[in-house]
Structure 1
C-alpha cells in the first residue's frame, strides 16, 4: 500500500493555516479521485483508493504536527509498507516562496518539527516528500506564530496553484518515480502575469 500523508494540525482553529498545507493537498487529491478521507485509524483520518493504477492510502495524521511520526509509523506497520518506497509526505516549507514546490527522496528535517518526528519514529531520513512553500517568515516574527497564521487573499491564489502542482507531482511520482518528479517540479515557477 502506497501511503500519501499530508501534515497538519487537527481541529477547526488550524484550518487554512500555513502549517496545514499538507492537509489541503490531501483534500485536493481526495476530491480529484473521489476518495473519502473519513475513517479513523492509527490516530489519522484515512481513505483508500486507486490513483494511477496503484492502491493508495491518503492520510491526515490527527496527532498534531509535532507527533506526526507516531501516526505515520503506525500506518506503515499496519499496512506493511516500506517507508523508502511506499511513503510520500506532503508538508509546508518556509524556505520556499508561496506556492512553490520541491520534491525530495530523502533529507534532514530542515527545522520542521513534523518531519523531525517522522525521522525519529521511522529511524530513517529516506522517504519521499513534497514540500509546499508558504513563504519566509517576516523579520522579528515568531516562527510558530507565522506557520499558525493564515494566508492573505493573494497568497491563497498562489497556494491553490501550488496545491495543483503538488498533486501533479504526486501523480508523476506514482506513475514514473521520484526522479522524474524531481526533474519536472524542482524548478521555480514564475507567477502568472496579470492580463
Structure 2
C-alpha cells in the first residue's frame, strides 16, 4: 500500500495558490482514478483507491503546511507503510520553473516548512517526494507572499501540464519505477 500525500493549506483563501500545488496534484490523481478524497481521518482528507493494481491512500493534510508532519506521522503509523518505499510526498518548489518536476528518493527539506515538519515527525529524510515547480520568487518579493499568491493565466497552463506529469510520475513510482521516473522528469530542466 502507498500513501500519496499532497501538501497545502486547508482554507478557501489558499485554493489555487502556489503553496497548494500538492493538493492540486492529489485532485488530479483522484480525478484520473475516480477516488473520492472526502473522508476526514488522521488530520487529513483521505481517499482509498487502486493505481496500477496497487492499493493507495490519497491524503490532503488539513494541519496547515507548517504542521504537515502531524498528519503524515498519523497516517504512516496507522497504515504501517515503509516510508522509504511506500510514502510519496508532493509539494511546491520555488527553485524549479513553473510546472517542472523533480523527483527524489530522499533529501533535506531545502527550506520547505512542510517537509521540515514531516522530517521532524518521521525522524528520517528518506522518503520519496515529487517537487512541482512554481517558479522562482521575484527579487524583493516576500517568500510567504509569493507562495501564497496565485498563478498567471500562462503559468496556470504550464501547471496543468505539470500536474498531469506528476500523476504519471506517481504511476511510475507506485509501479516500483522511481529511478525511471527520476530519469524521465529530472533531466527536463537541463534541456531548456
SS class of match (2:105): strand
1:132-171 matches, within 5 Å, as 132-171=132-171
2:43 is matched with 43
2:90: which partner in 1? 90
Runs (5+) with no aligned partner, structure 2 = none
What 5-or-longer segments of structure 1 have no aligned partner? Answer: none
* Count of equivalent residues: 191
Q: Distance in 1 between matches of 2:167 and 2:187?
A: 16
Task: Output the CA distance in 2 between the equivalents of 1:114 and 1:153.
Answer: 26
Q: CA deviation at 1:64?
A: 0.1
Partner of 2:32: 32
The 2-side partners of 1:176 and 1:69 are apart by 24
2:75 aligned residue: 75
- Cα distance in structure 2, aligned partners of 1:57 and 1:105: 19
Q: CA deviation at 1:180?
A: 1.2
Output one character per residue of 1:1-40: Cα deviation in whole Å (capped at 9) or x when no partner: 2100000000100000000000000000000000000000
| SS of 1:5 mapped into structure 2 | strand
Shift of the alpha carbon at 1:90?
Answer: 0.2
Following TM superposition, by how much is the alpha carbon of 1:176 offset from its aligned partner in structure 2, in angstroms?
3.3
Aligned to 2:183: 183
CA distance in 1, matches of 2:107, 2:80: 23
Q: Helix, strand or coil: the match of 2:91?
A: strand
Q: Does 1:14 align with 2:14?
A: yes
The answer for the alignment partner of 2:111 in structure 1 is 111
What does residue 53 of structure 1 align with? 53
TM-score scaled by length of structure 2: 0.97
Distance in 1 of aligned mates of 2:129 and 2:21: 13
Over aligned residue pairs, what C-alpha RMSD do you find?
1.0
Q: How far 1:184 sits from its partner (Å)? A: 1.2
Shift of residue 80, structure 1, vs aligned partner: 0.8
Q: Tell me, what secondary structure is at the counterpart of 1:126?
A: coil
